[in-house]
Copies of this chain bind each other. A is one copy, B any other.
Amino acid sequence: MSDAPSVPPSTDRTGRHGPTIRDVARIAGVSIGTASKALNSNGRLRQETRDKVTAVAREIGYRPNDMAQSLHRTRSMTVGVLSTDSFGRFTLPIFQALEEQFADRGIAIFMCNATDDPERERQHLDQLLGKRIDGLVVTARRADKRPPVGPLPPGLPVVYVYSQADDGDALSLLADEDGGARLAVKHLADIGCSRIAHVTGPEHFEAVQQRKRGYYAALAEAGLAEHPGYYRAGLWSEAWGREATELLFAGDAPPDGIFCGNDQIARGVVDALRERGISVPGQVAVVGFDNWEVMTTAARPPLTSVDMNLSALGHEAGRLLIDMIGGEKVRGIRRLPCTLVVRQSTSRQG
C-alpha cells in the first residue's frame, strides 16, 4: 500500500477528521512535539526539520483541527451573532461590517436567527454556549428596548447593535436618530425652508419618537415656529407619504420643506408633489431617512436622505466586542452620528 518504504510502519489510520499532526510526524519521521513546533513556527528547530515537516504537512493536506486547539486555548475564536428579528435590510450592512472585522482576525461567526421567538432564542443561545463562543452580538430590526438575552455565563462579552437591552450593564450601539433628524431639519432651514413638516411612521417606534424630538429641537434652534398639523405619524409606506401630502396641502398653510421618517414615505411625498404639479425642490424640498439607495436614487428627483451609517455601527460593534474579549470592560449606550447625503430633492445641482 505504502509508496514510501522509508516511512516507519504504522497503523495506516488517518484521523476521522482527516490527517492529524500524528500522521505528519510519523511520515516526516519526527516526534509529535517536533511536528507541532515546526508547524507553529516556534521553538528552536533545525531549518531542515522544519522544512521537512511542513512539506509533509502540505503533501498530505494536513490542516490543524481548530476544535482540538481551542480545547487548550482559552479562546474558541468564534463569536455568535444572534438576530432577534429576521435578517433584513437594516441588519444586513451591520452583518457585513461585523463579518469583515472578525474575518480579519481569524474569528469565525456563528449566525443565528430567532425571529421574535423566545423559545428559539433560548435554543440558539444554548447551542452557541455549547460552542464556547468568545462573544455575542445581538441585533434587531428595531432599536426598541428588549429584555437582555440570557442567562449567560458571567463574563461573556455581549454587544447589542441597533438594538437595546433593558439592562444598564449592557453595551448598546445605536444610531443617533435625534441627531439625524436635526441634520435633516437644519439642512432644510439652511436652504431657506421656513415651514417644515414631518411625515413619519407609527408612533410606537422608538425611532419615531427620537426623530420627532430632533425635529422639534431643530425647528426651535432655527427659530422656526411649530405648526399644528405639520407633524404627521402614519405608516412606513409610500402610500402614506402620498396621503400625508394630500393632507398637508389641503390646509391653508402648505409646507415648503418636508422631512420624512423614511425613504419610502419620502418617495411617496415627491410622487404626490409631482403629480400635483409642485416642483421639488423648487417649491418644496424633501428629505428622507435611511439612505436606502433603491429608494433614494429611483425617486424623481433623487432623494436627499439621512444615513444611519449602519456599516460603521457594525464595524464599531466588532471592534468593541474584540476589545471586550481582550478583557476591556465596556458598557452603556453609545449613539453613533448620522450623516446627511444630499441629492436633488433639496438642491438643484445634486
A interface vs B, CB < 8 Å? Answer: 16-18, 61, 63-68, 70-71, 74, 76, 78, 81, 86-88, 92, 95-96, 99-100, 103, 106, 108-113, 120, 123-124, 126-132, 151, 153, 237-239, 264, 267, 294, 298
Q: A63-B129, A92-B87 are in contact. Are A99 and B111 (CB under 8 A)?
A: yes
A71–B66 Cα gap in the complex (Å)?
10
Q: A96-B113, A103-B123, A127-B106 are in contact. Are A132 and B87 (CB under 8 A)?
A: no
Point out the residues of chain B lying under 8 angstroms from A70, CB to CB.
Answer: 67
CB pair B294 A132 closer than 8 Å: no
Point out the residues of chain B lying under 8 angstroms from A16, CB to CB.
Answer: 74
Point out the residues of chain B lying under 8 angstroms from A68, CB to CB.
Answer: 67, 71
**Which residue in B66, B92, B110 is a CB contact (below 8 Å) of A92?**
B92
CB pair B17 A298 closer than 8 Å: no
- Identical copies of this chain, number: 2
Top 10 A-B pairs, shortest CB-CB distance: A111-B111, A67-B67, A66-B130, A238-B298, A16-B74, A99-B113, A17-B132, A66-B131, A108-B110, A67-B70
CB pair A111 B109 closer than 8 Å: yes
A112–B237 Cα gap in the complex (Å)?
33
- Tell me the minimal C-beta distance from A316 to chain B in angstroms: 18
Known: A63-B129, A96-B113. 11 other contacts (CB 8 A): A18-B153, A64-B130, A65-B130, A66-B132, A67-B131, A78-B131, A87-B96, A88-B92, A108-B112, A264-B298, A294-B294
Q: A71-B71, A237-B298, A298-B237 are in contact. Are A108 and B131 (CB under 8 A)?
A: yes
- Tell me the minimal C-beta distance from A232 to chain B in angstroms: 19
**Which residue in B109, B267, B294 is a CB contact (below 8 Å) of A110?**
B109
User: Which residue of chain B has its CB nearest to the CB of A114?
Assistant: B103
A253–B110 Cα gap in the complex (Å)?
56
A109–B61 Cα gap in the complex (Å)?
24
User: Can you list 21 contacts pairing A with B, beta carbon distance less than 8 Å?
Assistant: A17-B74, A17-B132, A18-B132, A18-B153, A63-B126, A63-B129, A63-B130, A64-B130, A65-B71, A65-B132, A66-B130, A66-B132, A81-B111, A87-B95, A95-B111, A99-B111, A99-B113, A103-B112, A110-B111, A239-B298, A294-B294
Q: Which of A17, A67, A96, A127 has the most CB of B within 10 A?
A: A67
- Tell me the minimal C-beta distance from A101 to chain B in angstroms: 12
